[in-house]
Structure 1
Amino acid sequence: MKKGIHPDYHQVVFQDSSTGFKFLSGSTKTSDETIEWEDGNTYPLIRVEISSDSHPFYTGKQKFTQADGAVDRFNKKYGFKNND
């Protein structure tokens, strides 16, 4: 590999915004936010919207938050009728 062209690979903590689940992993991402991890060291904190803790594929259930009824509201607003 050529020197000086690859980003620095280091340990960071990822936190799921919806569940609060945190995990330590290697990444090239950086952050101004930091967090103290279980080992007593301080690592950059990266907030993510979805992780294995909240994704339906891993949890076996689907969570609806703000999308509930969005299709019905759209159809009502623009006059589409449900043809069941």
Structure 2
Amino acid sequence: MAGDTTLSENYAFAGVYHVFDQHTDSAVPKVQFAHDDRHLLACCSLDGTISVCRLAPGPPAVLRVLRGHGGGVADFAWSLSN
């Protein structure tokens, strides 16, 4: 809808399983699944954190938030064995 700024009217969230919203004030430049566990997902943020989330089994949850970076985190990599 042209000119409308509400998120719910600008984006179709059909099929969205869960919304992780721990990075509300900063951009999230990268999201990546773990190499050998497709239930683990990590995302980095320009707020200086990396979040590790579990999608299943059970309800999706943030397992850890890694803090302590001096600035925003624009990239990260999983180890081959996670």
TM-score (norm 1): 0.20
TM-score (norm 2): 0.20
Instruction: From the two aligned structures, give the one with the greater helix fraction.
Output: 1
Larger Rg: 1
